[in-house]
């Protein structure tokens, strides 16, 4: 198989959520990645939206790289159909490997794990540990309240507009992913993160 054109890290729920639009969006993301010759890097599970985006990427001809801690292999049902499945010992190892293997990051609907992953790479970006683009796919208004709170944080003086500008948010899958891939560019492929320790 040829070298992937790009590598996108997707953060999303290990549950499907209540709205069918969430799973449809996960399928659309996977189809877009695979259809554009890309590679998915994700949490390595086969349940919920995680499994949906991985299967859609695979069906569309894309490569799938999963990274999962040993403690979650059974809980999140490790996806043995990944082109690469890395079983690591800690969440820190998981997140570091996912970040290292990616050119850009995008969050789909999910719970606290998804929030934590997105906020961590966003924090790393503002501190200069990497310069990879980040996106938030706002499916069926799922992240409306979060975006409102973030803007409230800016208005309250705890964040700057420039920090908000680091996070691309949108509801159109193709537009958002195309923006992230274009911003990542070919020169930034798999650039190492500066140490965050």
Quick: pLDDT tens for 147-182.
Answer: 999 999 999 999 999 999 999 999 999 999 999 999
Q: Which sign does the torsion angle of CA 25, 141, 103, 96 carry? A: negative
Find the domain containing 138 and state its range.
7-21+34-90+101-114+122-143+158-184
- 169 in any annotated domain: yes
- 195 in any annotated domain: no
The predicted-structure confidence for 84-119, as pLDDT tens digits, reads as follows: 999 999 999 999 999 999 999 999 999 999 999 999
- 138 in any annotated domain: yes
A 10 A CB-CB count for 173 gives 21
* Distance between CA atoms of residues 11 and 50, nearest Å: 8
- pTM of the complete model: 0.93
60-64 long-range contacts (CB < 8 A, ≥24 apart) are: 60/30, 60/31, 60/32, 60/33, 60/34, 60/35, 61/34, 61/35, 61/37, 62/4, 62/30, 62/33, 62/34, 62/35, 62/37, 62/38, 63/1, 63/4, 63/38, 63/39, 64/39, 64/40
Mean pLDDT across the chain: 93
The total domain count for the chain is 1
- Contact (CB, 8 A) for 104 and 9: yes
Q: Which CATH number do you get for residue 15?
A: 3.40.50.450
- 162 in any annotated domain: yes
Q: What is the mean pLDDT of residues 50-72?
A: 96
């Amino acid at each position: 198989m040829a070298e992937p054109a790009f590598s996108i890290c997707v953060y999303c729920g290990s549950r499907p959520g209540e709205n069918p639009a969430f799973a449809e969006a996960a399928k659309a993301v996977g189809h877009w990645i695979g259809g554009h010759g890309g590679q998915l890097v994700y949490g390595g599970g086969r349940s919920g939206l995680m499994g949906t985006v991985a299967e859609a990427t695979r069906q569309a001809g894309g490569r799938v790289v999963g990274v999962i801690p040993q403690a979650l292999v059974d809980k999140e049902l490790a996806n043995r159909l990944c082109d690469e499945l890395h079983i690591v010992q800690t969440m820190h190892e998981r997140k570091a490997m996912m970040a290292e293997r990616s050119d850009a990051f995008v969050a789909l609907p999910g719970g606290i794990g998804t929030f934590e992953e997105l906020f961590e790479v966003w924090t790393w970006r503002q501190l200069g540990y990497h310069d990879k683009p980040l996106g938030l796919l706002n499916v069926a208004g799922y992240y409306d309240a979060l975006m409102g709170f973030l803007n409230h944080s800016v208005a309250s003086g705890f964040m700057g507009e420039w920090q908000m500008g680091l996070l691309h948010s949108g509801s159109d899958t193709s537009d958002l992913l195309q923006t992230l891939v274009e911003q990542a560019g070919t020169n930034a492929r798999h650039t190492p993160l500066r140490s965050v320790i």
